[in-house]
Amino acid sequence: MLHGYNPPQRFLPYLSWREIVELPDRANTVIVLPTGATEQHGPHLPCAVDTVIAAGVVGHALAALPASVPAYAMAPITYGKSEEHLNFPGTMTLSGETLLATMNEIGESVYRAGFRKLLIVNGHGGQPQVMEMAARELRLRHGDFIVVPSFTWRVPHVAGQYLSEREKKLAMHAGHAETALMLALAPDTVHMAHAVTNYPPEFPSRLLSPDGRPACAWSARDFGPSGIIGDPLPATAEQGQAILESLAQSWAQAITELHELHWAPRAEATWGRGQFSGHVEGRAPG
Ligand SMILES: [Zn+2]
C-alpha cells in the first residue's frame, strides 16, 4: 500500500473526509509533507534517494511520536526541481515555477481541510528556496497558517561523527551520509561496488566561499562523469541506522513542539501616526 515507512494510522490519505472532519483538533494537528526528487545519485544509488530519505525519516519520526501528539504524513512529493542533474538519465524534473505552484496548491488544500500547521520536510538540496517561497506565500494569504519549510538534515543528528573533515566541507550529493542512510532504508537498491569517490575542487575565493564549497551555480556534470559529489565508500548500514534513529528522534521532537506551538497572529498592521517610531528617509523625524 501507499503508506511506505509511515505507521498506517498516521497516513493522512488513508482517512475518509468524514474522519478528517471528526478529528478533535485539526488546527493543532501537524500535517507533514515529505518532499523529495527523482534524480541521479551516482552509479551506486537509485534516483529515488531524496524521496526515500524524506519519506523514510518522516515515517520513522511519526512512529516515534507518543499517541497524544496528533500528526499525519501526506504522500510524498516524488518529483522536484532537479535541473542540475539533467545530464544523467533517470532525472525527472519540474521547473521551479511548476514546483512552486504545486506546493502552493497542496498547501491551500491542507488549509481548506481545516488544518493550520504544515511541516515540509524537504530531502532535496536543490529546492529549499522554492519551499520557502511557497511557505511565505501561503502565510501571506492565511494569517493563521503556520507553514514550516525545513530540510531533512537541519535538525540534530549523529552523521557528523562518521564523516571526514573533507566530507563535511565539500560533499554535496550521493556521498557518505546519504549512502549510509540508504543502506539502512532501502539496502536492496544500493550497489556499493559501483561507488566512487569524487570531490569538487575548492572554490578559489575566500570572500565568496570561506569554507571552500563551490559558491557558483553548478550542474552535476561540472564535477565529472559519475554524478557523485563526495565519498560514499566508508558508508555502512549500521551508521545509516544510527543516523536514521537520531533524525527520527529530532523530528519527533520538532513535530511535538509544532503541535504545542501557539503563535497568535498579530492584529492587522496599520501604518499611521503613533504606529511607527522609526525615521523615514527624506522626511524630518518627529
Ligand atoms: Zn540527494
Split into its structural domains, the chain has a count of 1
Structural domain including 257 reads: 8-158+244-277
Q: Hey, what's the cell of 185? A: 532504508
Q: Residue 281 C-alpha to ligand 1 middle, in angstroms?
A: 46
Report if residue 1 sits inside a domain.
no
Residue type, 134: A
Q: Which residues pair with 93 in a beta bridge?
A: 80
Q: Residue 61 C-alpha to ligand 1 middle, in angstroms?
A: 19
By the 10 Å C-beta count (0-12 exposed, 13-18 middle, 19+ buried), 271 is classed as exposed
- pLDDT tens string, the chain, 286 residues long: the values are 899 999 999 999 999 999 999 999 999 999 999 999 999 999 999 999 999 999 999 999 999 999 999 999 999 999 999 999 999 999 999 999 999 999 999 999 999 999 999 999 999 999 999 999 999 999 999 999 999 999 999 999 999 999 999 999 999 999 999 999 999 999 999 999 999 999 999 999 999 999 999 999 999 999 999 999 999 999 999 999 999 999 999 999 999 999 999 987 666 656 655 555 444 444 444 4
Report if residue 166 sits inside a domain.
no
Residue type, 286: G
Q: Residue 49 C-alpha to ligand 1 middle, in angstroms?
A: 6
What's the Rg (C-alpha) of the chain?
A: 21
Contact 237, 180 (CB under 8 A): yes
Report if residue 265 sits inside a domain.
yes
pTM given for the model: 0.92
Q: Residue 249 C-alpha to ligand 1 middle, in angstroms?
A: 21
Contact 121, 51 (CB under 8 A): no
Q: Hey, what's the cell of 22? A: 471528526
The SS3 assignment for 41 reads strand
Report if residue 152 sits inside a domain.
yes
| DSSP at 193 | G
| DSSP at 229 | B
Q: Residue 71 C-alpha to ligand 1 middle, in angstroms?
A: 26
* Closest to 20 (Cα-Cα) out of 90, 127, 111, 122: 111
State the residue for C-alpha cell 521532537.
253
Q: The domain that contains 35 carries what CATH number? A: 3.40.50.10310
Q: Residue 175 C-alpha to ligand 1 middle, in angstroms?
A: 9
Q: Hey, what's the cell of 190? A: 544500493
Report if residue 196 sits inside a domain.
no
Q: Residue 142 C-alpha to ligand 1 middle, in angstroms?
A: 32
Q: Residue 282 C-alpha to ligand 1 middle, in angstroms?
A: 49
Q: Residue 58 C-alpha to ligand 1 middle, in angstroms?
A: 16
Contact 123, 94 (CB under 8 A): no
d(CA 239, CA 189): 17
Report if residue 3 sits inside a domain.
no
Report if residue 225 sits inside a domain.
no
Residue type, 16: S
Q: Residue 101 C-alpha to ligand 1 middle, in angstroms?
A: 22
Report if residue 117 sits inside a domain.
yes
Contact 61, 190 (CB under 8 A): no
Q: Hey, what's the cell of 216? A: 557558483
Q: Residue 43 C-alpha to ligand 1 middle, in angstroms?
A: 13
